[in-house]
Structure 1
Amino acid sequence: MKVINRIMLSSALLVMLSLLSLLSVFGIILFFDSLNGDGGKEMLDAKLFKAEEQMSGFDASTEQWGQLHEQLDSFGYRLLVMRENNVIYTTLADSGEDRINSLTNIRLGKDALAGRVQDATFIAMNKEGYLIYAVKQTADKSGGNFYAILRPAILISIAVIVVIVLLSQLFTRRMAYRILRPLNALSEGARRIENGDLAQPIIYKGNDEFASVCTAFNHMQEHLLEERRKNNAYEQARIDLVAGISHDLRTPLTSIKGYIKGLRDGVAQTQEKREQYLKIAYQKSTEMDKLLQKLFYYSSLETGNLPLALKLRDLGQFAHHYAAAVHEELAQMNATLTARIEPAPHPVRLDSEQMNRVMANLTENAIKYAGVSPLRLNVSVWREGDSEHLLFADNGQGVPEEHLPHLFEQFWRGDEARTQTDGNSSGLGLYIVNYIVERHGGTVTARNHHGLQIEIVLPGGKEASVE
């Protein structure tokens, strides 16, 4: 049950208990009041006639007023006897002048008279010159009954209030426990995260709003744990990259130093030998430049400062120029690159230098991992709708299907056995391709089809949107 429903239900129960308690108190008061109302009246009427019968049969000449008092007292009446305005005999509890005056002001005939005066019931009778009054002081008794009822009613009310308070405390405590249990779990989870413990989830099996909060907290914790693992992997990859490139820089640098020292020491005595030494030193310096360029690109990608100078160019012409530029270099490695351009304009906004880096990385990746000789590379350009497509394909062995989704990830290498002896197996080549293409507002995908095919899609025309 949801917390809001629990609170509403608890409030409703408290209100119902309060009302039932009040109704019970009023019911008890009404019950006792009814007993002292109608029932009292019935008893009073019956006793009044019996008291009158005793008074009628009494012989006043005997003046045995004590005997008459005993007879009337059994019915709850007191006796007052007067003669010529003087009190002869009385057993009234209140013999004040007001009560006596009220009774004596009643005119009596030969017949008996009954009624009420002030707050008392009376029977009056004139016998042999004596005025005889039987008085039942109901006021004192009824007042006593009222207070007798009022006192337990107050006690019951106090008891009901105490019960309501105790029940309220019980419900509140249980509700507070239900609310504080997930909150304490969340607080404990936050402290664990603060201390670096992301492995232990929050365990809460409730079926309320807090369940979704705890689930979201666990998802956040899992995401943080996954990000930590990725960051650790990236950090280790960065360390490996820097260590590998540092190692790779040492090899050509040592060679350059050795050949230059040989030239200085006169080891190369002929012109042909000196030219050979200089050529090898130049090749090694070129390798060092490639390694340093990788570090520069990696640093630019990490900081988001890779410069882009976008200009409107023809993608088909760009592919032709690149194929012509690398023709001789590829021929030395028993490889060819053919450009097949759809006969139509292919305007795109691109940075020629960065896009040339894309083509160079694709070529380098094919040379390293195609695994065939001779290597045949094909570049195709065509238009579909508002987009320009460039397909870079080789005739190699392709890659396992499960590796295709990971080709453009940072530092990913499908074959962990690949070494970094030439500084080119850092797992950054295709990642840089994807990064540059996305900066141009395009997308890049890979698939297997008689080798590996990498397709680049760029927004076409002057209206192309660039990030």
Structure 2
Amino acid sequence: MKTINRILISSVFFALISIASILGVMSIIFASLVPEYGKEMLDKDVFNAEEILNDFDAASAEWGVLRADLNRYGYHLLVIKGNQVVFSDLADTRTKVIASLKELNLQENIVTGKTNDVTFVVKPAGGYGIFALKGAVDDVKLTGLLSGFLPTYLIVSFVAIVVILLLSLFFTRQMAWRVLRPLKALSNGAQRIEKGDLSEPVAHKGKDEFAEVAAAFNHMQESLLEERKKTAAYEAARIDLIAGISHDLRTPLTSVKGYIKGLRDGVANTPEKREHYLSIAYKKACDMEVLLQKLFYFSNLETGHVPIMPENNDLGTFGCQFAESVRDELAARNIKITAEVTSVPHPVSIDAEQMRRVLMNLTENVTKYNKAEAPEIRIAVWRENGMEHLLFADNGGGVPDEHLPHLFKRFWRGDESRRVASGDGSGLGLYICQYIVEAHGGKIGARNQGGLQIQISLPCPKEERS
């Protein structure tokens, strides 16, 4: 059974119980009050009957005249002498009433009373007991109350029951729809998501609990949509990466094949030419190895197979040692490198091998993209705000400002011409740098200032923080 039908049936059931309880209480009250009402109330015309009997002369025995006078007020005449009924216009003998009246101890005065639900006025005169009788049960309780009040009571009760049930159904249905409408919207939203439609949010106005559920559902849908966009962009970048790597591998591979073919065909017919061909083929093979290693390293990053094993180290000493280790190689390319380190200690906890990879990637970028006449690299280390900072700066032209927020994204290449010219368009170098630095709990950022500046910030050991 549907929820709305359950709610409606429950509402009608409880409404009927409430109505039945009210009617039951009213019936009990009515049943207890009506008999008392009938017993205690004398007829309204009893004083007229007293006056008629008081003025009547019993010696005349004109019972028909007396009856006519009493009948005008709805009273019946009963005349008793001794134990005999002399005159009566009652519909029946009313033996029980007459027996009760005979037992009255009649005095000389008129007596008014009620017995067996009959209002009576009795006058003893000339040995007669003259009674004016009016049935209170017939005239007051049954006729006045039951025949007047009871039908009205039943009609009003019926109308009230119908109105209460209709109102109960109306308001219950409204409340049920207020509950079921957002549930229906959530159900439709879930079906849309199942079909892949994440564009339409769940609409729900109000500040009730369902508003929070709808907001959470919409937030989930937005997250799924954003994740879908990221996945689509990631897949597009991955396809582009494969195409780029294929292109980048094809060039040195073609060269290797060409030089080997030259050796096999005897083009290199002197020892010097053969040595030259072999050297070039070896260098191109090394270039392919570097590219494949970078791709393999990236794959390990994605699968979480690159362990970071930090050890206590001095960032200033590490920067100086790196500059010294690559100075000769860079000098051969006409690139100058300097290290500026303050004299104070710069303790950090780093994986030296992984952090060296970061600086090597930054160095490779300078060798590929720095177009200055006399390229320079400057490494500076200092402490600030409880963090150790390493600045890696060059004197090139930097990058366009709109490219700065995207430098560390995986597969991102800001300048397609660079990939073609350099033969390395993977877009992984700076992404790998960011991954390694953040794995150490640090941050990395870029800015243009006399060239491109990459700043790495690493936390100091807890005991060294100030």
The answer to whether TM tops 0.5 is: yes
Please list the CA deviations of residues 412-449 of structure 1 after superposition, one character each: whole Å capped at 9, or x if unmatched: 22334443564522221111111101111211121222
Please list the CA deviations of residues 182-237 of structure 1 after superposition, one character each: whole Å capped at 9, or x if unmatched: 22222211211111111122333445443444344333322321221111011110
Structure 2 distance, partners of 1:400, 1:262, is 44
Structure 2 distance, partners of 1:351, 1:430, is 18
Structure 1 distance, partners of 2:459, 2:80, is 130
Distance change (3 Å), C-alpha of 1:203 and 1:460 = closer
Structure 1 distance, partners of 2:110, 2:352, is 136
Distance change (3 Å), C-alpha of 1:462 and 1:169 = closer
Structure 1 distance, partners of 2:413, 2:423, is 13
1:437 corresponding residue in structure 2 = 437
Structure 2 distance, partners of 1:387, 1:137, is 111
Instruction: Return the letter of the residue paired with 2:177.
Output: Y
1:46 corresponding residue in structure 2 = 47
Structure 1 distance, partners of 2:462, 2:283, is 41
TM-score (norm 1): 0.84
How far off its partner does 1:330 sit?
Answer: 1.9
Q: Does 1:146 find its partner at 2:169?
A: no
How far off its partner does 1:240 sit?
Answer: 0.8
Mean Cα deviation higher: 278-287 or 362-371: 362-371
Q: Does 1:339 find its partner at 2:308?
A: no
Structure 2 distance, partners of 1:342, 1:269, is 58
Structure 2 distance, partners of 1:373, 1:421, is 18
Instruction: Return the letter of the residue paired with 1:120.
Output: V
- After TM superposition, the structure 1 = structure 2 runs for residues 99-178 of structure 1, keeping only pairs within 5 Å, are 99-144=97-142, 145-148=144-147, 149-178=149-178
What is the root-mean-square deviation of aligned Cα atoms in Å? 3.2
Structure 1 distance, partners of 2:107, 2:330, is 153
Structure 2 distance, partners of 1:128, 1:383, is 138
**1:438 partner SS:** helix
Distance change (3 Å), C-alpha of 1:464 and 1:222 = farther
- After TM superposition, the structure 1 = structure 2 runs for residues 283-302 of structure 1, keeping only pairs within 5 Å, are 283-302=283-302
**2:217 partner SS:** helix
Structure 2 distance, partners of 1:82, 1:88, is 5
Contact 2:340 2:378 survives alignment (8 Å): yes
Percent identical across equivalent pairs?
52
Contact 1:60 1:130 survives alignment (8 Å): no
Instruction: Return the letter of the residue paired with 2:49.
Output: L
Instruction: Return the letter of the residue paired with 1:71.
Output: D
How far off its partner does 1:392 sit?
Answer: 0.4
Structure 2 distance, partners of 1:174, 1:349, is 65
Q: How many residues align?
A: 440
Instruction: Return the letter of the residue paired with 1:225.
Output: L
Contact 1:255 1:284 survives alignment (8 Å): yes
Structure 1 distance, partners of 2:462, 2:51, is 124
**1:390 partner SS:** strand
Structure 2 distance, partners of 1:101, 1:218, is 91
Instruction: Return the letter of the residue paired with 1:146.
Output: L
Contact 2:42 2:114 survives alignment (8 Å): no
Distance change (3 Å), C-alpha of 1:449 and 1:110 = closer
Distance change (3 Å), C-alpha of 1:136 and 1:425 = same
TM-score (norm 2): 0.85
Distance change (3 Å), C-alpha of 1:371 and 1:94 = farther
Structure 1 distance, partners of 2:458, 2:211, is 46
Distance change (3 Å), C-alpha of 1:107 and 1:118 = same
**1:455 partner SS:** strand
1:415 corresponding residue in structure 2 = 415
Mean Cα deviation higher: 347-356 or 372-381: 347-356
Structure 1 distance, partners of 2:82, 2:403, is 134
- After TM superposition, the structure 1 = structure 2 runs for residues 52-91 of structure 1, keeping only pairs within 5 Å, are 52-53=53-54, 56-57=56-57, 59-61=59-61, 64-91=62-89
1:225 corresponding residue in structure 2 = 225
Instruction: Return the letter of the residue paired with 1:269.
Output: N
Please list the CA deviations of residues 392-425 of structure 1 after superposition, one character each: whole Å capped at 9, or x if unmatched: 0111112233332222122222334443564522
